[in-house]
Chains A and B, each alone.
Chain A
Amino acid sequence: MSILVDKNTRLVVQGITGREGEFHARQMLAYGTAVVAGVTPGKGGQTALDGRVPVFNTVREAVEQTGANVSVIYVPASFAPDAIKEAASAGVALVVCITEGIPALDMISTYTFVQETGARLLGPNCPGLLTPGEAKVGIIPGNIAMPGPVGVVSKSGTLTYEVIDALTRINIGQTTCVGIGGDPIIGTNFIDVLTMFQADPATEAIVMIGEIGGTAEQEAAAFIKAHVTKPVVGFIAGQTAPEGKRMGHAGAIISGGEGTAQEKIEALEAAGASMAAQPTDIAQMVKQILQP
């Protein structure tokens, strides 16, 4: 078992003829993901990835003709909100937006629109998700993951790779690895993913990686305390970040003493999570929980 994507995932890639879209569509296909369609307005009727994937003008056509049920978006920030809305209204269940730099105000109306269609949005500005051995949707390197019992959820990209890699190196595999993104307005938050991991019978332990800024980790801590019975190992990046400076991600800023690593760590510890002092400790901590 796994969450969100698996062997039944039929993926449409929006922006498949662009540089980023083409590169990653090729990687996803090579991983074994069923990349069934691409969309680039005006290039309908062509093919991509050496003739292996048909290209459509609209997501609706792609869904109707190929049965696509998940979309991944690699289009520039100024076009991405519309691409998200197009995918959601075309009936895919999950829309994954990799694009970074989308204005936050655009995401407020886009998020609300997506909710009204019943679709789920992951991102934007996220690395996507990966169910090892089944489907890779986004940009997480496939070779660092292996199937197993740990669910991974994170705000960050490369830091998540670091943790997945460390788990795999000591032979601990993952059910699904989900990058929710570090923007202020995102479609799927920690609580949504924790709910799914808690319900997934194959997930035996959960790794949660947060960052400074906002209160999503504190809200997740309250949720863990009330609803998560599976063991949670956590890490918060930005323990040394100064106040008032934005650390790369649009959301990663400590303002007025709010959103510090310390308060997040304390909240998660109080909720029963085991907190790692450094990311590389996470794998060993999970191992001790799973194989005491």
Chain B
Amino acid sequence: MKLHEYQARDLLARYGVPMTGGGVASTQTEVYRIAKEINGPVVVKAQVFVGGRGKAGGVKLAKTPEEAELVGGQILGMNLKGLTVEKVLVAEAITYQKEIYISAVMDRATKRVVMIASAEGGVEIEEVARTKPEAIIKMPAHPHLGLLEYQAREIAFAIGLTDSKQARQFAQIALAVYRAFKECDASLVEINPLVIRDDGSLQALDSKILLDDSALFRHPDLAAIRDTSDEPEEEQRARAADITFIKLDGDIGCMVNGAGLAMATMDVVKLYGGEPANFLDIGGGADKDKVKTALEIILSDPNVKAILVNIFGGITRVDEVARGIIAALEEVHTDVPMIARLVGTNEEEGRKLLADSALIPAATLADGAQKAVEAARARASA
């Protein structure tokens, strides 16, 4: 789960990270009020989940509250890469000498939470990793004890913060970032840039937090602030039904059990010249109702010209899947051609159930993908 910049900012402020003054607004009047309180230049930033907000015109500087109100009006309601801006962050605009970088990430290779820091802030850390890998400092936290104070100091000195007061402040921020990561079950907490102000003090200008979905059950407060506005309605409906669904741009709908097989099914569709319309994993042991919901979600996409069902029954029973398809087709009348490749647990029964239906049987994944691509082409040219 992603947090918005303003949510990450509020959360990090609670852990003692020095954030810029300001607040979040959803009307022009609120923008004016916050800018007036700040009583100086402000930056107005669109709060939407898209990359490159600045370039797209979603971040603007304003010198006076009146100007802030004006640019606030321009940004609020703006369409940024398909998403409507409903909230803006109005933050104090400050001057600074230098930008640095600090984050905590879940590192698979070392199986630790690793702190990453660099004196080269303000740009994407991936870019720094490519062009100047020696500028990146990595410090793994102890698996039981966490990030230790001496480690936080070591990071500060390693990125060249030699002034003792500055190094101490940086260490405090690093420890706060780690604490926020740990206590919120994050998978990423990033401050970029963390700036050195003209008076030498440190301040966070922008931050990003990703949370571990598997741990949300013990953070109801965080789960409650999830903003799903960037997710298509069908993705939200799928999540509620415990189905993993991601909409894509193609025209061949896919229904598969298992994430790896679902990805492989998309790959094979593409290999035979088709374009998958979605990723859909009905999960293990899916029952009739889940299959029905999955099919309805796929069919709600008007681009879909053929559907490929690929089920390798293990825990999932093929006959249950067949029953789900039949039940769905009784309610959702469609003439979209459907190709079914069903093998594994109870496959004979499943095939018998579908024998009287309009479904086109396929023997293998390759066979199914080819038939789906042909069917989609025939429908597109019809």
Contact = CB atoms under 8 A, between A and B. Distances in A.
Interface of A: 77-78, 101-109, 111-112, 127, 139-141, 144, 154-162, 165, 182, 184-185, 209, 211-212, 214-216, 219, 235, 237-242, 245, 247-252, 256-258, 261, 277-280
Q: Place the interface of chain B in its size category.
A: 35 or more
16 contacts: A139-B284, A139-B315, A141-B344, A156-B261, A159-B263, A161-B312, A165-B343, A184-B106, A209-B260, A216-B109, A240-B276, A241-B266, A245-B279, A247-B244, A248-B260, A280-B268
Among B212, B215, B260, B343, max chain A CB count under 10 A is at B260
A141 B345 contact: yes
Given A112-B143, A159-B258, A248-B281, A104 B314 contact: no
B185 A105 contact: yes
B214 A103 contact: yes
Contact of A101 (B112, B214, B267): B214
Among B108, B109, B270, B276, max chain A CB count under 10 A is at B108
Contacts of B126: 256-258
Given A104-B106, A240-B267, A155 B365 contact: no
A219 B246 CA distance: 29
Contacts of A235: 264
Interface in B253-286: 256-264, 266-271, 276, 279, 281, 284
Given A184-B187, A248-B259, A250-B214, 11 more contacts: A103-B185, A159-B260, A159-B263, A162-B264, A162-B312, A165-B343, A211-B263, A214-B108, A249-B260, A279-B264, A280-B366
A149 B129 CA distance: 42
Among B124, B187, B270, B315, max chain A CB count under 10 A is at B315
**5 A-B pairs closest in CB distance:** A156-B260, A248-B259, A158-B258, A103-B215, A159-B260
A278 B314 contact: no
Contact of A104 (B214, B246, B263, B270): B214
B261 A105 contact: no
B259 A104 contact: no
A185 B258 contact: no
Contacts of A251: 108
Contacts of A249: 259-260
A87 to B, nearest CB: 19
Interface string B187-203: 10000000000000000
A258 B185 CA distance: 23
Given A209-B260, A214-B108, A250-B214, A245 B344 contact: no
A103 B219 CA distance: 12
Given A156-B258, A157-B284, A108 B270 contact: no
B348 interface: no
Contacts of A240: 263, 266-267, 269-270, 276
Q: Is the interface of B mostly helix, strand, loop or mixed?
A: mixed
A237 B260 contact: yes
A7 B149 CA distance: 50
B260 A154 contact: yes
Contacts of A219: 109
A277 B289 CA distance: 34
A174 to B, nearest CB: 16
A103 B106 CA distance: 11
B71 interface: no
A156 B259 contact: yes
B248 interface: yes
Interface in B144-190: 144, 182, 185, 187
A68 to B, nearest CB: 24
A174 B270 CA distance: 30
A214 to B, nearest CB: 5
A182 B266 contact: no
Nearest to B365: A280
A140 B314 contact: yes
Contact of B263 (A109, A141, A161, A252): A252
B263 A238 contact: yes
Contacts of A257: 126
Given A159-B260, A185-B108, A165 B312 contact: yes
B364 interface: yes
Contacts of A278: 264, 267-268, 271, 365-366
B314 A161 contact: yes
Nearest to A19: B285
A185 B185 CA distance: 14
Contacts of A209: 260
B212 A182 contact: no
Nearest to A279: B264
Contacts of A157: 258-261, 284, 314
B371 to A, nearest CB: 15
